[in-house]
Structure 1
Amino acid sequence: MSDTIPELETLTGRQRDTAERLQQLSVRLMMALSRRKSPNPGIEAPGPDLYAKTAAAWWEQMLQNPTWAVGHAVGFWESSMQAWVGALQHSEDGPGTEKDKRFADADWQENPWLDYLKRQYKVTSAAMRSAVADLDTLPETDKRRLSYFTDQIANLMAPNNFLGSNPEALRRAMETDGESLLKGLENLVADLEANNGELLVKLVDDSAFSVGDNIATAPGQVVLRTKMMELIQYAPTTENVYAIPIVIFPPWINKFYILDLKPQNSLIRWLTEQGYTVFVASWVNPDESLKDAGLEDYITDGFLAAIEAAKEICDQEKVNVVGYCIAGTTLSLTLSYLNQIGDTSVNSATLFTALTDFSDQGEFTPFLQEDFVDGIEVQVGRSGLLPARVMSRTMSFLRSNDLVYGPAIKSYLLGETPPAFDLLYWNGDSTNLPGKMTMQYLRGLCRANDFAEERFALMGRTLKLSDVRVPLMAVTAESDHIAAWKDCYRGVQKMGSADKTFILSQSGHIAGIVNPPSKGKYGHYTNSDLSKTAVEWQKEANFHQGSWWPLWDAWLKPRSGDLVPVRKPAENDLGAAPGSYVKQRAG
């Protein structure tokens, strides 16, 4: 038999087609990888200090307690033997049998080899995590970082992530005569091409959505455009409206239409239906011309400009304002500034999942230490921007099984097309961040905690959390992994307002906020006593089934003035909602 590769002419039609596709994909793969820029080690892995501290702590603990390492080793081998025996006997309990959706396929239970592989993986992962958890000589911040990176290694090495040990992928390949693997390779190459050689798993079918056509469809008009944002005034849906308008500032890490994904869950539409005049800031997706834009630019050309425009359009002296996530943090800075200059334009403020006290950095602890912040500074030094993909990747790896490895298995090993899911489309529509703003936020707020410590220098002022004195409602989410509710609570406690309302919604960073009453999902906690610790506050709080939106509406109405005739946004050459800035895609 010849050991040479047959010419394409000697192959069958299907073989020829497969060979041609493989050849084309190989060329595309090499071209995509060649476009990858040189990596920045500072944001790829922790600095050498963490490794040195871990090694020193390991030896220190060994010297203090020689039986510590022996105990872990003995425990690991004992669990390993139990896993081996359990797989042989096909037992349903013992080490490695805990429920795990990654191993839901029946073969993980019925195939002895796969059953053992699953059990041993779980035993090994548990041993790794236990060794880190028991490393008492390592400082707490370093232990949290080490725990995170240990989790990442464990998640990466799960046997279902590999073709040879994924029964569903192997079965699909057999059933499709390899077509699923070829389609998976096509998906892989397409993802590399879309990200200039960087591997970011596509989570959603982009072709299913179009901003302004089937998402972000609430009618309105752009009434102001600055270098930082477009201000949209939404069309009223009631005969009369409350005199004092609402100005909403969404986060600029993603796009504003999380508040207007579809009519059924649109907070914007719901507010207009309650009789409010609603304005929303749609932030620019920065390019290199905005690399020197700082928090002061977001405040001046964003928050202050929007507030003044809404006042003028509605012929009112005051507005109610809302800030979500990072925009809630910056709104708090703005409120401190306005208080110091004696400006009373803000009648009340609502904060959605907004951190203002960063004394506990929560799940972002691994990324907010000096080595990573230095690495980000190097990254923004290359182009003046923090590319959208860096933030997107960081957020994804906080939930790597759900947002990295799970989608990768479906796309690359099973050859499936990503789903058409509006929330995931929004999640992927992230933005670049100006370098100056990024470093102000990371060093001044996250690292130094200068705002909560009453020393944040900005716009010629020393901004203080205690200078936030307007009537305030803060809404947080119980399962929020981005802005942990207990950290949000601590910041609200330090604000100077004499009129504070704090709500803890069930669910996470998005679902806890975008939770219309019509769904009847999730509940929320209330407690007027903010002198307690966060744990005590929740323990003594009243639980209410359903959305918190009606409670917010009841809080807003007395702060929104009398009913007046509707104000329809005037047509102009700035364009209709959702505007043009929201359609700018990160490169």
Structure 2
Amino acid sequence: MDHAARAALAQFSGGLSPITIAQSLADWGLHLATSPGRQMQLAGKGLRKGLRLAEYVARAGLAGETPPPAVEPLPQDHRFTDPAWQKAPFDTISQAFLLQQQWWHAATTCIGGVSAHHEAVTSFTVRQLLDMVAPTNFIATNPVLQKRIMDTGGHCLIDGARHFLDDLRRTLGGDPPAGVDGFKVGEQIAAAPGRVVLRNELMELIQYEPTTDKVRPEPVLIVPAWIMKYYILDLSEHNSLVRWLTAQGFTVFMVSWHNPTSNDRNKDMDDYGRLGPLAALDAITAITGAQRIHAAGYCLGGTLLAIAAAALARDGDKRLASLTFMAAQTEFSEPGELGLFIDEAQIDVIEAMMWTRGYLASGQMGGAFQMLRSNDLIWSRILTTYLMGEREAMNDLMAWNADGTRMPYAMHSEYLWKLFLGNDLAEGRYRVDGRPVSLSALRQPIFMVGTETDHVAPWRSVHKLHMLTSAEIRFVLTSGGHNAGIVSEPGHPHRHYHIATRPEDGAALSPDEWMAVAEARQGSWWTAWGEWLAEHSGEPVAPPSLGNVEAGYPPRDAAPGHYVLER
């Protein structure tokens, strides 16, 4: 009955815990109510901002031109960049909004006695409300939108209404977004040639065809997250990490995860480790005969790889020649803004959502990610698509992002409680097959990638592996976010990264100390990774066959296989 009641509540609240929000607002409100000094500060701040706005309006009226702004938007806020916002009365409207936004940030932070989590949730909630009522969202207060309506004779509103009805129909019918049809899996994207060489109840293992006469003797195993389809690492031909690796002379294997159903509700983290990277290592060893294997993990796949590597080290298995972690967290004490959605009350709601069907649907996760960047992913998209009537052209990364997956109840619950909330892996309490594992056992050379604007795995959190192992770590901080920063092929414009190596048993620098000594480079981090892999590989040899019938791993379906097509 409790699960049913909370599941109904979750449907009403969009998957967020109203109890967490209520607790946060109450914590903030009660402490603010008993802080007369802070109230006086905020009143004075509000008065000063009002005077700044009045001075701005007066100077604009007397001079007949736009004076220097009373407040500048944040660097990531591009809502008021159009010159039309510099003209009266819209300059006053935008300035008033930005000053109000500043005041509310001050009002929801630095209140004595409020817990850090409740402060973050309160500030986030107020920010969502402000974004909702921003002047850019309304015809009467948006000069850019007004001009668009005049230039099109109002047809942009008609086109926007058509886009809205089309999107509504697609959402209700469970159809993919408009434009996805131009990016078909196995044709335009996820089309690197290869064969499935292993299929079990949780994953398919794809072995890709070599593209060079000789290959490095150490194969590369890639473990993607199961919160997403693997082919973000095999998008179009020009930006496929798989194709790039094979062109560098590596034999590449990729895990393609099964999209769970209600029947998989009891699959846990141990199952994902045993049937995922550990089963893949056994297959790769049997197929290629390689004694050493490079392993790379992306996002949640990197976390799983770290757990599997620690378990292998605990058990004396030395097959892993190196480890690569791409935007992958192993320490969760500072998970960034995603931590707003994770506390005991929120996990209780998520568990109730999963309980009824046995899994968490992709749409239930996507809403949280979108709210972290509501300006860019919600309100600006509504403005552009439904009011200006301009639908953004689909690209391969957007098509991939629309191809969501599910996560089984047992695994996701364990991940949230033990890793995200409990931080058991970093603190030595995490168990694999009933026995604890330690990240300090990782002694292989490690290559790590963080991205500058990552809202899912903030780079400072990713960097914390330096504090948990004394292995050699080459850390790269690349431009871009959680997805676009990883899909950063050579030749991609405006890409740059910082890089530095902590030697084995060397001192662990803080993120700021690391940034101070890291070398700045232009271009793609892929080239640095390829050079690093080559440094830790043997001399090229003849490529192995696809699969190995005698070893029990015959080549099966052609890539991309069956699991990636599951809906």
| 1:533 paired residue among 510, 527, 548 | 510
Counterpart in the other structure of 2:474: 501
Q: Distance in 2 between matches of 1:90 and 1:146?
A: 38
Q: Distance in 2 between matches of 1:456 and 1:471?
A: 23
Q: 1:70 to 1:103 in 2, by over 3 A?
A: closer
Following TM superposition, by how much is the alpha carbon of 1:176 offset from its aligned partner in structure 2, in angstroms?
A: 4.1
Counterpart in the other structure of 2:3: none
Counterpart in the other structure of 1:138: 114
| 1:551 paired residue among 528, 540, 552 | 528
Q: Calculate the TM-score normalised by the size of structure 1.
A: 0.86
Where 1:121 maps in the other structure, the secondary structure is helix
Deviations 1:472-513 (A, max 9, x none): 222222332221122112123202x53333232333323332
**1:509 corresponds to which letter in structure 2?**
H
Q: Distance in 2 between matches of 1:188 and 1:81?
A: 40
| 1:73 paired residue among 18, 30, 46 | 46
Following TM superposition, by how much is the alpha carbon of 1:547 offset from its aligned partner in structure 2, in angstroms?
A: 2.5
Following TM superposition, by how much is the alpha carbon of 1:557 offset from its aligned partner in structure 2, in angstroms?
A: 2.4
| 1:425 paired residue among 399, 409, 417 | 399
Counterpart in the other structure of 1:51: 25
| 1:467 paired residue among 441, 448, 464 | 441
Following TM superposition, by how much is the alpha carbon of 1:210 offset from its aligned partner in structure 2, in angstroms?
A: 0.9
Q: Distance in 1 between matches of 2:123 and 2:152?
A: 40
Where 1:224 maps in the other structure, the secondary structure is strand
| 1:368 paired residue among 333, 336, 342 | 342
Following TM superposition, by how much is the alpha carbon of 1:441 offset from its aligned partner in structure 2, in angstroms?
A: 1.0
| 2:236 paired residue among 254, 258, 262 | 262
**1:227 corresponds to which letter in structure 2?**
E
Q: 1:515 to 1:97 in 2, by over 3 A?
A: closer
Counterpart in the other structure of 2:253: 279
**2:143 corresponds to which letter in structure 1?**
P
Deviations 1:206-243 (A, max 9, x none): 12211111112211111111121111111101111112
| 2:264 paired residue among 272, 278, 290 | 290
| 1:129 paired residue among 91, 95, 105 | 105
Following TM superposition, by how much is the alpha carbon of 1:425 offset from its aligned partner in structure 2, in angstroms?
A: 1.6
Deviating more after overlay: 574-583 vs 443-452: 574-583
The answer to whether structure 1 residue 213 and structure 2 residue 195 are counterparts is no
Q: Contact (CA 8 Å) 1:255, 1:426: kept in 2 or not?
A: yes
Following TM superposition, by how much is the alpha carbon of 1:174 offset from its aligned partner in structure 2, in angstroms?
A: 4.2
Following TM superposition, by how much is the alpha carbon of 1:42 offset from its aligned partner in structure 2, in angstroms?
A: 5.4
Counterpart in the other structure of 2:331: 357
Counterpart in the other structure of 1:32: none
Deviations 1:235-281 (A, max 9, x none): 10111111221110112211111112122222111111111110011
Q: 1:518 to 1:197 in 2, by over 3 A?
A: closer
Q: Distance in 1 between matches of 2:489 and 2:560?
A: 21
Matches within 5 A, 1:145-544: 145-196=121-172, 205-495=179-469, 497-519=470-492, 521-528=495-502, 529-544=506-521
Deviating more after overlay: 231-240 vs 90-99: 90-99
Q: Distance in 2 between matches of 1:194 and 1:326?
A: 29
Q: Distance in 2 between matches of 1:79 and 1:285?
A: 55
Deviating more after overlay: 446-455 vs 523-532: 523-532
Structure 1 unmatched ranges of 5 or more = 1-35
Following TM superposition, by how much is the alpha carbon of 1:182 offset from its aligned partner in structure 2, in angstroms?
A: 2.8
Q: Distance in 2 between matches of 1:550 and 1:134?
A: 44
Q: 1:504 to 1:580 in 2, by over 3 A?
A: same
Following TM superposition, by how much is the alpha carbon of 1:380 offset from its aligned partner in structure 2, in angstroms?
A: 0.9
Following TM superposition, by how much is the alpha carbon of 1:183 offset from its aligned partner in structure 2, in angstroms?
A: 2.6
**1:181 corresponds to which letter in structure 2?**
L
Deviating more after overlay: 415-424 vs 265-274: 415-424
Deviations 1:171-229 (A, max 9, x none): 4444444432233223223333333499x9x9762122111111122111111111211
Q: Distance in 1 between matches of 2:31 and 2:59?
A: 35
Following TM superposition, by how much is the alpha carbon of 1:348 offset from its aligned partner in structure 2, in angstroms?
A: 1.6
Q: 1:103 to 1:564 in 2, by over 3 A?
A: same
Following TM superposition, by how much is the alpha carbon of 1:160 offset from its aligned partner in structure 2, in angstroms?
A: 1.2
Deviations 1:392-437 (A, max 9, x none): 1111121111111111111111222331221222222221111111
Deviating more after overlay: 408-417 vs 464-473: 464-473
**2:533 corresponds to which letter in structure 1?**
L
The answer to whether structure 1 residue 577 and structure 2 residue 559 are counterparts is yes
Q: Distance in 2 between matches of 1:369 and 1:384?
A: 21
- Runs of 4+ off more than 6 Å: none
Where 1:451 maps in the other structure, the secondary structure is coil
Where 2:280 maps in the other structure, the secondary structure is helix
Deviations 1:155-181 (A, max 9, x none): 111111123333343444444444322
Counterpart in the other structure of 1:10: none
Q: Contact (CA 8 Å) 1:83, 1:96: kept in 2 or not?
A: no
Q: Contact (CA 8 Å) 1:58, 1:137: kept in 2 or not?
A: no
Q: Distance in 1 between matches of 2:530 and 2:69?
A: 52
Q: Distance in 2 between matches of 1:69 and 1:189?
A: 44
Q: Distance in 1 between matches of 2:394 and 2:471?
A: 46
**2:300 corresponds to which letter in structure 1?**
I
Following TM superposition, by how much is the alpha carbon of 1:97 offset from its aligned partner in structure 2, in angstroms?
A: 5.8
**1:144 corresponds to which letter in structure 2?**
A
Q: Contact (CA 8 Å) 2:327, 2:457: kept in 1 or not?
A: yes
Following TM superposition, by how much is the alpha carbon of 1:471 offset from its aligned partner in structure 2, in angstroms?
A: 2.7
Q: Contact (CA 8 Å) 1:319, 1:348: kept in 2 or not?
A: yes
Q: Distance in 2 between matches of 1:136 and 1:179?
A: 52
Count of equivalent residues: 545
Q: Calculate the TM-score normalised by the size of structure 2.
A: 0.89
Where 1:101 maps in the other structure, the secondary structure is coil
Q: Distance in 2 between matches of 1:432 and 1:241?
A: 36
Rg (Cα) greater in structure: 1
Deviating more after overlay: 497-506 vs 351-360: 497-506
Q: Contact (CA 8 Å) 1:47, 1:372: kept in 2 or not?
A: no
Percent sequence identity over aligned pairs? 33
Following TM superposition, by how much is the alpha carbon of 1:57 offset from its aligned partner in structure 2, in angstroms?
A: 1.5
Deviating more after overlay: 547-556 vs 167-176: 167-176
Q: Contact (CA 8 Å) 1:205, 1:417: kept in 2 or not?
A: no
Q: 1:38 to 1:450 in 2, by over 3 A?
A: closer
Q: Distance in 1 between matches of 2:466 and 2:402?
A: 30
